[in-house]
Amino acid sequence: MGIDIIKKRKTIRKFKDIKIEIEDMRTLIEAAIQAPSAHNFQPWEFILIDSNEVKEKLSSKMASTWTNNLIKDGKPLHEIQERISMSKGRINNAPFIIIPCFDTSKIEKYDDERDNAEFIMGLQSVALASENILLRATEKGFGALWLCAPLFCPEDVREVIGIPNHILPQEILIIGIPDEDPIKPKRRDLKDVIHHNKW
Ligand SMILES: Cc1cc2nc3c(=O)[nH]c(=O)nc-3n(C[C@H](O)[C@H](O)[C@H](O)COP(=O)(O)O)c2cc1C
């Protein structure tokens, strides 16, 4: 795997209605756990979901919290219905779902500002593992969509899946066979992002 796979990876939001085998998802997790992690603590857990019943429970629970938030934001009813229906559809129709989680019991604890640094390092480690999943998925011909929604309703995800309190679900990764070939969003130029020896 090299720069070609890194460049090829892009977000896929439409998937073919083709069943994904759990064995294929295991190879993605195999890539995930090769990621570096702070202190080599490997503070990750991965929830694999292919049950329609679990997907439905998850999407309904998350939708109720999101609906309440959108009402609070004063969004019009038709917009709320449209967004909730799209969001539920994405989860219910997902060929496979992986939820990378951060195990906060695995990190160093301090009673000063180092605690926050260790927490961030844990998050960074899980994010690196997640990127490995995206890259391996690309290499294997799968598409993937990263949904940040669990960060906004972690209790919903925790309740439906039965996740203990010290485990923080980070995102929902929808994995499947791509049914679209979107143009990858343009990247900022190298010259705009590199700071050589000074800002
Ligand atoms: C932390 C993070 C959160 C994201 N959340 C969402 C999301 O909730 N919904 C969505 O459609 N895409 C989401 N994405 C995908 C981004 O929109 C996408 O990566 C970005 O537009 C660049 O496109 P590319 O992945 O095709 O290169 C997320 C990506 C990241 C890294």
Q: Is residue 74 assigned to a domain?
A: no
**pLDDT at residue 1 above 80?**
no
The pLDDT value recorded for residue 100 is 98
Average pLDDT, integer, range 41-50: 98
Q: Is residue 19 assigned to a domain?
A: yes
List all residues whose CB is within 6 A of at least one atom of ligand 1. 10-11, 146-149, 184-185
**Distance (Å) of CA 87 to CA 3, 36, 63, 163, 184:** 32, 32, 8, 22, 22
Q: Is residue 9 assigned to a domain?
A: yes
**Which atom of ligand 1 is least distant from the CA of 182?**
26
Give the Cα separation of 70 and 65 in Å (integer).
9
Q: Whose CA is nearest to atom 30 of ligand 1?
A: 146
Residues 6+ apart with CB under 8 A from 17: 93, 95
114-149 per-residue burial string, b: 16 or more CB within 10 A, e: under 16: eeeebbebbbebbbbbbebbbbbbbbeebbbbebeb
pTM of full prediction above 0.75: yes
Q: Is residue 103 assigned to a domain?
A: yes
Are the CB atoms for 35 and 129 separated by under 8 Å?
yes
Q: Whose CA is nearest to atom 6 of ligand 1?
A: 147
Other CB atoms within 10 A of residue 43 CB? 24
CATH number, residue 106: 3.40.109.10
pLDDT tens figures, 134-193 = 999 999 999 999 999 999 999 999 999 999 999 999 999 999 999 999 999 999 999 999
Which residue among 99, 146, 172 has the greatest number of ligand 1 atoms within 8 angstroms of its CB, and so is best to mutate? 146
Name the residue range of residue 19's domain: 3-50+95-179
Give the Cα separation of 124 and 135 in Å (integer).
17
Rounded to the nearest angstrom, the distance between the alpha carbon of 169 and the centre of ligand 1 is 17
**Which atom of ligand 1 is least distant from the CA of 184?**
26
The pLDDT value recorded for residue 64 is 95
Give the Cα separation of 61 and 95 in Å (integer).
19
Q: Is residue 191 assigned to a domain?
A: no
pLDDT tens figures, 71-106 = 999 999 999 999 999 999 999 999 999 999 999 999
**Distance (Å) of CA 115 to CA 94, 118, 191:** 36, 5, 35
The pLDDT value recorded for residue 37 is 98
Q: Tokens 């796979």 sit at which residue?
A: 5
Please count the structural domains in the chain.
Answer: 1
Q: Whose CA is nearest to atom 3 of ligand 1?
A: 148
Give the Cα separation of 113 and 48 in Å (integer).
34
